Amino acid sequence: MVMELKLEGTVVVSGGDRGIGLAISRDCAKAGANVAILYHSHPDAPKNADEISKEFGVKTKAYQCDVSDENAVNQTILAAEKELGSITALAANAGVSVAKPAVELTSEDFHKVFGVNLLGVFNVAKAVARHWIQNGYKKGAVVVTSSMSADIYNSQGLNEPITQLFYNSSKGAVTNMVKGLAAEWAQHGFRVNAVEPGYCDTDMVKGGDPKVLDFQKKSVPLGRFSENYEQSSAAVFLLSDLASYITGSRIRPDGGFTVY
């Protein structure tokens, strides 16, 4: 039997306009779904959505929506369902980081990072799940882009930590939240899982100190950073029927980094 990855209806992808999220948007479109991209402010988002639509012959639209704002999220989910058709799945992927030594971090930094990486994931997941419950939809699937940083503290040299305390703690929290949502929503038939990427060549990582990037690449057993598609393929698998018995789980495409 040939395994075929197909998606139906509309998939919501937060942070779906660039980086790992753009690869998820493309892979969802390739699998046959319409795609509602939620983005913050990048000027290329509408153009990227149009390109996906043309390439794969599906409906795709970019919605400017701050995921940390519950009202904005609720309105956007309603608009996406009306304009693109029934929402069947969510990739809650938007994420941000603030890199500073712990003693310099502020409450503002905390709210920025946890507002997107934890509350933002919750806002979008709650909006789609409430919608599914109201409509009697039983097959909702959610995948959250967490990070291998959920379990480790990253380094930039031997015993030299990268100072991103709120980022790593927000990823630990969101991986735990995935288990809680999976537990609560199993009764409705919804599945909730996490992808925990290792290093990936995106804007979040590019532009760093070349010596640090070289150290990090050498620390990965596979000897390189991942490409965006190597993260999105795991996410789209978890959204598909091929993963119909998987919930509350995590897939960690990290090139073996957390083996040690």
Ligand X SMILES: NC(=O)c1ccc[n+]([C@@H]2O[C@H](COP(=O)([O-])OP(=O)(O)OC[C@H]3O[C@@H](n4cnc5c(N)ncnc54)[C@H](OP(=O)(O)O)[C@@H]3O)[C@@H](O)[C@H]2O)c1
User: What residues make contact with ligand X under the rule CB under 6 A?
Assistant: 14-15, 17-21, 38-42, 45, 66-68, 93-96, 116, 120, 145, 147, 197, 199-200, 202-205
Judged by beta carbon, residue 33 or residue 143, the one nearer ligand X is: 143
Judged by beta carbon, residue 136 or residue 207, the one nearer ligand X is: 207
- State the nearest-atom distance from the C-beta of 88 to ligand X, in Å: 21
Pairwise CA distance, residues 69 & 54, whole Å:
31
- State the nearest-atom distance from the C-beta of 230 to ligand X, in Å: 11
Residue pair 124/174 in contact (Cβ under 8 Å)? The answer is no
Residue pair 113/170 in contact (Cβ under 8 Å)? The answer is yes
Active site residue 171: yes
Pairwise CA distance, residues 130 & 122, whole Å:
12
Which own/partner contact pairs does 208-213 have at CB distance under 8 Å and 24+ positions apart?
209/156, 212/156, 212/157, 212/162
Judged by beta carbon, residue 26 or residue 137, the one nearer ligand X is: 26
- State the nearest-atom distance from the C-beta of 172 to ligand X, in Å: 12
Catalytic position from the list 39, 149, 171, 199: 171
193 DSSP β-pair partners: 143
- State the nearest-atom distance from the C-beta of 92 to ligand X, in Å: 8
Judged by beta carbon, residue 40 or residue 59, the one nearer ligand X is: 40
Give the start-end residues of each E strand in the chain: 10-14, 34-39, 60-64, 87-92, 141-145, 155-157, 160-161, 191-195, 250-251
Catalytic position from the list 137, 167, 170, 232: 167
Q: Is 160 exposed, middle or buried (0-12, 13-18, 19+ CB in 10 A)?
A: exposed
Judged by beta carbon, residue 93 or residue 193, the one nearer ligand X is: 93
Active site residue 59: no
Give the tokens for residue 216. Answer: 């990090």
- State the nearest-atom distance from the C-beta of 201 to ligand X, in Å: 7
Q: Residue written as tokens 């799945």?
A: 89
Pairwise CA distance, residues 25 & 143, whole Å:
13
Active site residue 14: no
Catalytic position from the list 14, 97, 146, 147: 147
Query: Which residues are identified as catalytic?
Result: 147, 167, 171
